[in-house]
Amino acid sequence: MTDILKPDLLWIEGRCYRINDSNTELTSFQEHDLYENDVPYDDVNDADDDDDNFDVVLLDNSRFTTSFHVSKHYIGAIIGKKGAVKCRVERDTKTDIKIPKQGQTGDIVIFGSSASSVKAARRRINIIVMSSRMKQRPTHFISIPMNSPDIMNNFETFKNNVLRDCPGRGLDESLFIKPNKLHLTLGVMCLMDNEERLLASKLLTEAKEKIILPMLEDYLPFKIRLKGLSYMNDDPREIDVLYGRVQEEGASTGLIQKLADSLVSHFYKAGYMEKDHGRDNVKLHVTLINSKYRSRAAQGGEDSLSSTSRNSRQPRVTFDGSEILRKYADYDFGVIEFKEIHLSQRHSIGNDGFYQPTCVICCST
């Protein structure tokens, strides 16, 4: 049950909103009728809109306006059933909202008699978009590649040793990640069109100058060691994901965690990323073995599963990793110099065998 003294908060475009009932799940039908039963968020900074990081333009002596891109995937939620949501926002904020018609391109444009009313309408729309976004499966993720030749070679040795020495239930070669795809996951998000991908790329570029380089400047070249194993499940005999741990090499302990948390917070406040299962800290992990990679051959079929099939809602078959943890709990995969952070598309592989990049920022000297 939500603590009414410590309500969940939602950040959108640098502003903070209180979630009145975070345990209430909205169906798509209910979401379109969001305003008929009151918005489930309160703007906790309603009296002060100086924090808004978007522009409102004075058209003439009596009208203000702002325009902004919204993916067509969210337009239905903004309009609502028979236009109910749009009408309610316009009525509550005393604005006029122009939305591109189906098949048309262009921005949403808001007109109002005051800058504050225009900003209020835009914040309402942002809330609806954010609510819709967080119910969709992630399309992209931010990561640090961990695929240096040294680490990949040590991973191959680890894989061969495990398959030879740890014949546990459910373990199969197809469960191991491809060495070229080794990465430290920092966060995931849903980006529905090219405009959103461009904005996410801009946010990552901004984070380089505002967060990443200032945090690492005393430790460059910054190095990360991949050493030790852990798992996602509670029972080592019923594992879905076995992952490698990371630690700083020649830098203060906790720096990687601080970097990851700050980066996720940057995207979270912009309305593009959700906190990792409600945790304050990112769960740092380099996936090594994952039951969702299991091929049809391992299950008695003829072909390997496609990426689409692997990620469909089929029951996952866990594996027994207790022997792996007993023998290789402190396995050292090696050290990599931290050079880049990638914004990558899920389930899409580039020519180098790593995930297809949407944006890459260089973080080395």
User: What is the pTM (predicted TM-score) of this model?
Assistant: 0.79
| Cβ–Cβ < 8 Å for 108, 125 | yes
How far does CA 239 lie from the centroid of its chain? Answer: 23
Residue type, 236: P
What would the CATH number be for the domain defined by 9-133? Answer: 3.30.1370.10
User: What is residue 252's predicted lDDT score, i.e. its pLDDT?
Assistant: 93
- Helix 255-269 with 194-207: angle, nearest 10 deg: 140
User: What is residue 19's predicted lDDT score, i.e. its pLDDT?
Assistant: 45
What the block records as the tokens of 90 is 């316009």
Q: How many CA atoms lie within 13 A of 209 on its CB side?
A: 4
Give tens-digit pLDDT for 298-339.
554 333 344 444 445 567 899 999 999 999 999 999 999 999
Where do the domains of the chain lie? 9-133, 140-362
Which segments of the chain have a pLDDT < 50?
Answer: 1-13, 17-48, 297, 300-311
> Helix or strand or coil: residue 72?
helix
Give tens-digit pLDDT for 126-143.
999 988 888 899 999 999
Q: Which of 103, 185, 176, 177 is nearest to 143 (CA)?
A: 185
Distance between CA atoms of 32 and 4, rounded to whole angstroms? 26
| Cβ–Cβ < 8 Å for 328, 154 | no
User: What is residue 301's predicted lDDT score, i.e. its pLDDT?
Assistant: 39
The class (CATH top level) of 140-362 is alpha beta
What the block records as the tokens of 164 is 């030879």
What the block records as the tokens of 348 is 């899409």
User: What is residue 103's predicted lDDT score, i.e. its pLDDT?
Assistant: 84
User: What is residue 152's predicted lDDT score, i.e. its pLDDT?
Assistant: 98
User: What is residue 60's predicted lDDT score, i.e. its pLDDT?
Assistant: 83
